[in-house]
Amino acid sequence: MSEPLIYVNGEFVPESRARISVLDHAVLYGDGVFETACAWNGRLFKLDAHLDRCFRSLAAIALTPPVSRAEMRDLILEAVRRNGFANAYVKWIVTRGSNGRPLMDPTDCVGNLIILVQPYLSRASGERAAAGLRLKTVAIRRPAADVLDPHIKSLNYLNLVMAKVEAKAAQADEALLLDRDGRICEVSGCNVFVLHGTRLRTPRHNILRGITRESVIEIAPALGFAAEEADLALYDAYTADEIIICGTAGGLLPVVQIDGRGIGGGRPGPAFAALAGAYQQLLASPQHGTEVGLAIQGAR
């Protein structure tokens, strides 16, 4: 397989030649934002929703984008096209850039855009997804909006990385994070839904409003589920009929255990099967897909 191409510093280069300055504020301070999207059957899923969120994040941290929204859109499509994956994991990063000094002052920094494309990735293996995931409620809390607003998809993910480290040390698949008021927020890097009967609830405070989460809320009513945002406590998770987590990498995934407590009889349930199937149909349809322009027969 040929080496993937990455867009960086205004040009497409092989992955092994992709470089940014060690003085870039992304390296020094985690100063920047990113988005993760996916292509399926040669179409980028909800590209404009991802771009909208990216530019909201940029505005929130006062980072002037290095290209216009239209130019960024074209470059993302071109990156997917050049790499040739019909089903792809797509990530773009906007860094604060460098002003030549290893200091926190961002004056005179010029932003940089990085776009990378790989074959589609899932956060869980096929075996783990089929069996269901085990969660651990971690001690580390999700920062509140007055610390670092979770609506901003920033490069500062140390909080979530440390949560994942804690969960893995306890032999769990993923970390469940609460806020400082004890409300359920997110699983490390993805959103969560809790089902009781036909009532499908997802946290509303101190979360990133995921594009996949938005899709689940969109498809739920047609399947007979009343989807809503709510304040959720651990009690709601421990007593749930089913729990589902979701994100770009892997789509929807079932949870069968939290903190040693079995969920839904310890196996993926019928609600997960229905929602995951409907999401996969949505992903494969042209309804929210932007054509990349691949010759699918020859695509990787």
pLDDT at residue number 298: 47
Of 3, 209, 249, 20, residue with least CA distance to 123 = 249
H or E element at residue 196: strand 191-196
Q: What is the pLDDT averaged over residues 198-226?
A: 97
pLDDT at residue number 171: 96
Q: What is the pLDDT averaged over residues 92-116?
A: 97
pLDDT at residue number 1: 52
pLDDT at residue number 294: 80
Q: Does 3.20.10.10 match the CATH number of domain 126-284?
A: yes
Residue 130 pLDDT more than 50?
yes
Residue 47 pLDDT more than 50?
yes
How does residue 2 score in pLDDT terms, banded at 50, 70 and 90?
confident
How does residue 125 score in pLDDT terms, banded at 50, 70 and 90?
confident
Give me the chain's average pLDDT, please. Answer: 95
How far apart CA 269 and CA 256 sit, in angstroms, is: 9
How far apart CA 257 and CA 24 sit, in angstroms, is: 41
Residue 201 pLDDT more than 50?
yes
How far apart CA 55 and CA 60 sit, in angstroms, is: 9
Structural domain spans, the chain: 5-119, 126-284
Residue 240 pLDDT more than 90?
yes
pLDDT tens, position by position, 62-91? 999 999 999 999 999 999 999 999 999 999
Residue 296 pLDDT more than 60?
no
| Residue 294 vs residues 31, 73, 82, 229, 248: alpha-carbon distances, Å | 34, 16, 9, 38, 21
List Cβ neighbours of 213 (8 Å cut-off, separation of 6 or more): 191, 193, 202, 246
Residue 99 pLDDT more than 60?
yes
How does residue 300 score in pLDDT terms, banded at 50, 70 and 90?
low
pLDDT at residue number 124: 87
Q: What is the pLDDT averaged over residues 220-228?
A: 98
| Residue 208 vs residues 15, 127, 200: alpha-carbon distances, Å | 29, 28, 18
How far apart CA 102 and CA 48 sit, in angstroms, is: 35
For 5-119, CATH gives: 3.30.470.10
Residue 104 pLDDT more than 80?
yes
Q: What is the pLDDT averaged over residues 246-264?
A: 96
